[in-house]
Structure 1
Amino acid sequence: MASTDIEAPPADQQRRNRRADSSMRQRLARWDLKVSPYAYIAPFFILFALFGLFPIGYTAVISLMDWDTIRNSGEFIGMENFEFVLNDRKFWVSLRNTFFLLSSIPQLIVATFIAAMLDHHLKAKTFWRMGTLVPYVMMPVAVSLVFSQLFADEYGVFNEWLGYIGIEPIQWHKDVLASHWAIATMVNFRWTGYNALILLAAMQAIPRELYEASAIDGAGKLRRFFSITLPQIRPTAIFVIITATVGGLQIFDEPRMYDTTGDGGADQQWLTTTMYMYNTGWGELNFGRASAIAWLLFLIIVVFGLLNFFLTRRLISSDSSGGK
């Protein structure tokens, strides 16, 4: 049987096919360029919607109800939970303690000093830099237990040291300012090294030519630090201040473990807003009021977030206008 030859398509048909294939590839490339970034970040937003937005919305609904934990249902009562919380002395005491426990500024000062030391040519610099993270990776409960013994009223290490130099023992758990000082020390111990590494990353991004030129002009180390290092890391420093402040508003572990009861002191000397929320929700089993406290704290944090946004935008605009 004779074989039949398959005729090749005409040349104009081949050109049309190539143009069609090229057009399809261009459309796919444009589609990939536009859609692929959203596909890459979609998992985060999906998880955030499930574990972030949904709890926030659900908490908002519960805050408007007299919630029954047994039946897992509630009766709508409007803003009564918010009115009760705003008229409760414990809420304002906890808010005062929360703001007094904030130690962002001294934490930033110490972290900047540590970062400046780590930015120098040190032997075994990786060891020293990783060493700053040791307090951060320690369990908060372990840190709180150790420091609660150091700041014990009767047999604490610090009171023994004070006794050697003739100073009366300090009531670290009874006095308001002393308890705030002790808890702030725990917080600074855990977070200063972490913030120091963030500032160190900003310092290492500074062009070394600036330091070399200033050294040629006769500027000393202190002058270079204040004239070059601090202005260059200013955006990062603002970021550290805001994140440390927001984290301080959510402080829970350190004051919770500061004594054996975990109630914030006999007169709520170190009761924080998160502890007040926890005690209301799980101690009194009043999830409606606890949700109202959570939303009030959320609004306070949003205010600090907006403050961060406006400060950063103003800083960037001033830097860009100054560079023209």
Structure 2
Amino acid sequence: MTITQPPGVDTPASEPRKPAPPTFRQRLGRLDVKLSPYLYIAPFWIVFALVGLFPIIYTAVIAFQDWDLVRNTGEFTGWDNFAFVLQDREFWFSLRNTFSIFLLSSVPQVIVATVIAAMLDKNIRSKTFWRMGVLLPYVVAPVAVALIFSNMFGDRYGLVNSVLGDFGIDPIAWHVDIIPSHIAIATMVNFRWTGYNALILLAAMQAIPRDLYEAAAIDGAGTWRRFFSVTLPQIRPTMIFVIITSTIGGLQIFDEPRMYDTNGQGGSNHQWETITLYLYKTGWGEFNFGRAAAVAWLLFIIIVAIGLLNFAVTQRLIATDTMAKKSKNLKKVTK
């Protein structure tokens, strides 16, 4: 017997089943997925805040004061410290020397490091030995490097002048003239950091797929063509990293000019005095920590400005390269 629903009466729809509330372990798992990445990077940011961010802010506070180190207090002076530093000729001499040494060291350093990395990327014997060899100068203490090279570039009995004398070249006053002193200090910097940067670039070169080299060789590209068309474009991000780190290190150079002579004052006429040496003399030589903090912030602003300039230039180059590739592919399609 079948029971039918009277006409005009709706059949009640089945109610949707409510999902069960999440358990405690499920809620804990969701919380772990959301918070665990921040917990993993939290130690770095905590340490950075203590030893990096706090000193930067504290230095900015001292830069606007006439700071007394003994009483650990200061009197607010406004922009007087910055005005004095910017009007001081010694500051501009040190800025000139810093940029000169930076250009003489960073530019050849990156070029030579790229060449060494390309040579180590070849199929040569004893690869580990040669890689360790180029890294050995980086292990040597900066003070030892400065002492050795300062004697090599001695004005009277230096090894370099002795070699130049064998070729009939007059001795060079490495500790008196401006440009020779900058070349000598830049040589120390290049000696220490070229191998380090070469290994970084070598790691980037080894990550390049070998299929690209094989395809280029099949198309008839020679060694130099493969280097400029395959290697350099593929290691461009690493090259940008090396350039930025070399820029920061070059503008903060201290050990080499400090140990270049026995006085450590940057020369009798400020021939090789850098900004960091000027900062050191202002702070610990004159005990004027307000002005020293102002110099530190001016150096910080200069480094940030040059870093942003490097980033803008590299982004422009990447955009130009991308547009060139798109136009080249479009021409192939239209053909």
TM-score (norm 1): 0.90
Give the unaligned 5+ runs of structure 1.
1-15
- 1:143 maps to which residue? 145
- 2:83 maps to which residue? 83
Q: Confirm or deny: 8 A CA contact 1:67 1:73 kept in the other structure.
A: yes
Distance (Å, rounded) in 1 between the aligned partners of 2:183 and 2:153: 10
| SS of aligned partner of 1:114 | helix
Distance (Å, rounded) in 2 between the aligned partners of 1:38 and 1:165: 64
Give the unaligned 5+ runs of structure 2.
1-17, 330-335
Distance (Å, rounded) in 1 between the aligned partners of 2:90 and 2:138: 31
1:274-311 residue CA offsets vs partner (Å, 9 max, x unmatched) = 00000100011110110000000011111122224434
Aligned AA (1:212): E
Distance (Å, rounded) in 2 between the aligned partners of 1:223 and 1:279: 50
Q: Confirm or deny: 8 A CA contact 1:152 1:173 kept in the other structure.
A: yes
CA radius of gyration, larger in: 2
| SS of aligned partner of 1:146 | helix
| SS of aligned partner of 1:101 | helix
Residue from 253, 263, 266 that aligns with 1:264: 266
Aligned AA (1:237): M
Distance (Å, rounded) in 1 between the aligned partners of 2:192 and 2:186: 10
- 1:168 maps to which residue? 170
- 2:32 maps to which residue? 32
1:80-118 residue CA offsets vs partner (Å, 9 max, x unmatched) = 000000000010000000000012221111000000000
Higher mean Cα deviation, 259-268 or 227-236? Answer: 227-236
Q: Percent identity?
A: 68
- 1:131 maps to which residue? 133
- 1:298 maps to which residue? 300
Higher mean Cα deviation, 276-285 or 236-245? Answer: 236-245
Compared CA separation, residues 308 and 30, structure 1 to 2 (3 A):
farther
- 2:49 maps to which residue? 49
What value does the CA root-mean-square deviation take over the aligned residues?
Answer: 1.9
Cα displacement (A) at 1:230? 1.2
Distance (Å, rounded) in 2 between the aligned partners of 1:89 and 1:46: 40
Aligned AA (1:252): F
Q: Number of aligned pairs?
A: 308
Q: Confirm or deny: 8 A CA contact 1:239 1:308 kept in the other structure.
A: no
- 1:231 maps to which residue? 233
1:16-49 residue CA offsets vs partner (Å, 9 max, x unmatched) = 9x945x5444432322122111101101110111
Q: Does 1:252 align with 2:257?
A: no
TM-score (norm 2): 0.87
- 2:62 maps to which residue? 62
Residue from 112, 117, 125 that aligns with 1:115: 117
